[in-house]
Amino acid sequence: MKRGTLVTRWDEESGTRMLHDEVAVEFPLTIVYNGRELVTLQCTPDRLKSLAVGFLAAEGIIREAADLEEVVLDEANGVVRVTSRRGGDADPESAFRRVITSGCGQGAAFYKTNTETLEWIASDLTAPAAALAAIARDFQRRSAVFRATGGVHSAGLAQGDRLVCFCEDIGRHNAVDKLFGECLLQGWPTADKILVTSGRVSSEVVFKVARMGVPILVSRSAPTSLAVDLARELGLTLVGFARGKRLNVYSGAERIRFETPVQ
């Protein structure tokens, strides 16, 4: 989502002038879980139920859609109230302990800094390298809000060579959480999907994608060292710098079908 505003533009050749510009909308959303205020996320105000559900699932506070009893959005007050039948695998005291992360648009997360609660990704999905590059190009064309504002990140879910869901947000973590929430609320399986993101792949993003059970993660940007290590430990195929007709595979290359032998 975007909003118009007046700005003063200066450049060395033409000087100063007033013009109309568009900026990404930032919105505070508070998640109340089983009557307890959990966190306030600075986000883009769309797919707010999906964001709340995806955030809770990504942090291990809920495990599946069956855990959800009720999800109520009070958009006027910026609140999503989630009632759960059970608390997933999260210990309430540790789950609500903030950890400052490398995220943007979401400065706090509750993820555990180990992989004990995550399962090895055993999906037998494979994909041609050329198809991943084509998906990344299609993904890049989808982001109308980014082209207008330059102020959002995107995340998409692909099946085969087709994007089936696309989310934008001021925070790259939020965009992934929206996808996670959509999968849970819509009942979509994830073992046959590919997740595409516009942002840097940090360890937090790998945790979220691994918890989703998505076997292939593709980014237009770079991964961090810890993201690469975690992807290898969890059996996640991690692809970075997917731009034009090239890409780098950092882990799980056995899922990628290359047209020419690897040298």
Catalytic residue list: 104
Contact in structure between 217 and 209 (CB atoms under 8 Å): yes
The β-bridge partners of 142 are: none
Q: Which residues contact 260 (CB under 8 A, 6 or more apart)?
A: none
Name the DSSP class of 201: B
Contact 165, 179 (CB under 8 A): yes
Residue 192 phi, psi (nearest 5)? -110, 20
Phi (first) and psi of residue 80, to 5 degrees = -115, 125
- Burial (Cβ within 10 Å: 0-12, 13-18, ≥19) of residue 198: buried
Q: Which two tokens stand for residue 12?
A: 């060395």
**Integer Cα distance of 37 and 23 in angstroms:** 29
* CB-based contact 211:57 (threshold 8 Å): yes
Largest CA distance in the chain: 63
Query: Helix, strand, coil: what percent of the chain each, to 5?
Result: 30, 35, 35
